Every structure is written in structure tokens, then in C-alpha cells.
Amino acid sequence: MAEPVLEIDNLSVRFNLKRGVLRAVDGVSLSIHKGETFGLVGESGSGKTVTARSIMRLIPTPPGEIATGTVRFEGRDIYQMSDREIREIRGRQIAMVFQEPMSALNPVFTVGSQIGDVLRTNMGLSKAEARERTLEMLQLVGIPSPSSRIDSYVHEFSGGMRQRVMLAMALSCDPTFLIADEPTTALDVTIQATILELITSMIERFDMSLLFITHNLGVVAHACDTIGVMYASHLVELGSKEEVFANPQHPYTIGLLRSIPRLDVQEKFLTPIDGSVCDMMNPPQGCKFHPRCGQAMDVCRERVPELKELAPGHLAACHLHDQSSV
């Protein structure tokens, strides 16, 4: 198989706060190949956004700190690069789309000048060239009559249109890798469908790889090839979308899939996961999921399970799959 475009190996990110040390990401390893769409799923506070930001070296230090691990993009270690080298990568090769376009875009500049700025800084275009390219990009992401909207401000756009503007900005420098952090969470379902379709078509058209971060299992089921499930800073399951949905191996993934209400049948009661997410400042020993797990054993309270390959390309971190302890 070809070299992965992005390789995260044993990444741990800590935040040294007044109240103590918060381990936001703990020993996460994953790789994404060229043209692959990877969905990173997890509930709030599970560490998925911190994982994504550490790829772009956007973790504020202090209080943040990369405790262990490496992030390699096209074979080069992101954290060994000079500031100048990382700037070459940010925006140019790896672009990012955020959940809240209203706070990610600047309210006091027109969208044309913001996208133009990116193009002039990153690509060295002239003002006129940048404007032309901006119009092209706005057209591409489906903003109606871009020449009349290019001088509008962010607040003059609707939520869906703002997300299109963000996408136009992200794609303007022909990146090879797109990170989308909950890009459709703030949107209504019909608008979400249009943005998902747009992202999917852009990925194909520009032959990009995608890291898609979401809490919505429905969205990853349709937008991604590979799925990683995070729980309390740990990657607990990893596999192809077909495998993970049809044959989930980690009790958390199984519980998550069961707790979603279905559209085709009406059940009287749902099957939730008991309890609530552990306090991340004070996580339990061993597997972080054991207090909520119906199948927890003694070993789960003592040792953190490692990710093990159970079938080709399908990994889970659970002691239930230890041959030795069964």
C-alpha cells in the first residue's frame, strides 16, 4: 500500500491547567491515505477536535503540550518543522473548515477581501488575480451570483452560505488535505445535506484526503470510508465504515449505535449507555469506559487496553478481545 499522507503515531496532548493536568488526547495512532475520507467520531470532550488541531500545530502552548508522539504529513514530522515551514503547510496543503463560520470568519472584512488575503499571502497572487480566483471559488461552492456577493460581509449570508464561503476559502489554495471539524453541526438537516454533498464532490474533484470530525454517526455513515471512534481521549475502535457499522467490536461503539433512535421502526424504549462520561480531570484507572460498560472485568479496572487488530483493518481497544484474559 502507498505511504499514508498523514500519520499520527502515539499522540498524547496534555493541558496543564490550574486545576490539574487534562489529558485531552492519550496515545492516539491513525493514518490517512491519499484520497481517503476518515471520519473521527466521538461525543463532546472526547478529544477529537484537539486531535485535529494538533495536526495543524494549532494547540496553544502553554497550557497545551504535546506529551508524546509524532504527526507526520507526507513523511515529514510536523513538530520538527520551523515556523516558516509549518506556514507553508497550513492553508496551502492542509486546510481546515470549522463548525461556526460566524466565529471563524472576520465580521469586519468582506468575504472577498478575506479569501483574497489568503490567496495573496499563500499563493503570491496580485490583487486582481486574487479577486478573479475568489470569484471562481465562490462560483465553485455554489454561491449564487458571486460577483454581487463577493463584497458582502459574513453577517449578510445565511448559515449554509457562510459554510460555503468557509469551504471556498479552505479550497482556494488547492490543498491536498482537508480537515472538517463538525462543519454541518450548526446547520439544518436540508442544508446539512447540501454541504455534505458539496464536500464530497470537492474531495473527489480535487483528489483530496479528508479528516471529518463529527458526533453524528449518520453523517459519517455516508461521508467517510474509514471510521475512528474516540472515547475519553482514547481511540477505541478503527475500521472501514462497513465493518464498524455492521460489526462493531468495542462496547462503546455498540452502545452508541444502539442508543440512536431509528427512522424506520419505533421502539418504545431506547437502549442508552448507562452513566455519563468520566471527569477528564480525574479519569478512572484502566479502560476509561469501564464504569459504563456492562461487560467490565477486573482487568478493565487496572490496565488500559491497547488497540488490537481483530480483522484486517479493523481494530478495537477492549480487554474482551484479549485471548489471555478470557
Partner 1 sequence: MSENLLEVKNLTKHFSLNTDLVSRLAGRTQTLKAVDGISFHIRQGETLGLVGESGCGKSTTGRLITRLVEPTAGEVKLRGEDMLDFSPKRMRQTRKNVQLVFQDPYSSLNPRKTIMQILSRPLEVHNLAKSWHEKRERVLELLNLVGLGSEHIDRYPHEFSGGQRQRVAIARGLSVNPELMIGDEPVSALDVSIQAQILNLFRELQEKFNLTYLFIAHDLSVIRHISDRVAVMYVGKIVESGPVATIFSDPQHPYTKALLAAVPEADPKKPPPRLILKGEVATPIDPPPGCRLQGRCPIATSICGEVSPELVTVDTDHQVACHHL
The footprint of partner 1 (CB under 8 A) covers 43-44, 158, 160-161, 188-194, 196-197, 215-219, 221-223, 241-242, 245, 255-257, 259-264, 266-274, 276-277
Residues 6 or more apart whose Cβ sits within 8 Å of residue 64: 13, 14, 15, 24
CB of 184 to partner 1, least distance (A): 9
Q: How far is the CB of 31 from partner 1 (least distance, A)?
A: 21
Whether residue 62 has a cis bond before it, omega within 30° of 0: yes
Quickly tell me which residue has 461487560 as its cell: 295
> In angstroms, how far is the first alpha carbon of the chain from the final one?
34
Q: Closer CB to partner 1, residue 63 or residue 272?
A: 272
Q: 56 vs 195, which CB is nearer to partner 1? A: 195
- Smallest separation (angstroms) from partner 1 to the CB of 188: 4
Residue-level length of the chain: 326
d(CA 66, CA 102): 29
Q: Which three cell numbers stand for residue 198?
A: 458539496
Q: Which residue, 13 or 229, has its beta carbon nearer to partner 1?
A: 229
Cell of 292: 459504563
Measure CA 171 to chain center: 17
Nearer to partner 1, 89 or 278 (CB): 278
Q: Considering beta carbons, is residue 72 or 288 the nearer one to partner 1?
A: 288
Beta bridge partners of 29: none
Helices 127-140 and 159-171: crossing angle, nearest 10°?
Answer: 130
Closest separation in Å from C-beta 226 to partner 1? 12
93 close to 81: Cβ distance less than 8 angstroms: no
Work out how close the CB of 161 gets to partner 1 at its nearest, in angstroms, rounded to a whole number. Answer: 7
Q: Which is nearer to partner 1, 71 or 280 (CB)?
A: 280
Asked whether 49 and 181 are in contact (CB, 8 A), the reply is: yes
Q: Is 203 helix (H, G, I), strand (E, B) or coil?
A: helix
Q: Which is it for the CA torsion 68, 74, 75, 76, positive or negative? A: negative
In angstroms, give the least distance from the CB of 38 to partner 1. 15
- Residue 293 has which C-alpha cell? 460498560
Shortest reach from residue 187's CB to partner 1, in Å: 9
Q: Which is nearer to partner 1, 17 or 270 (CB)?
A: 270
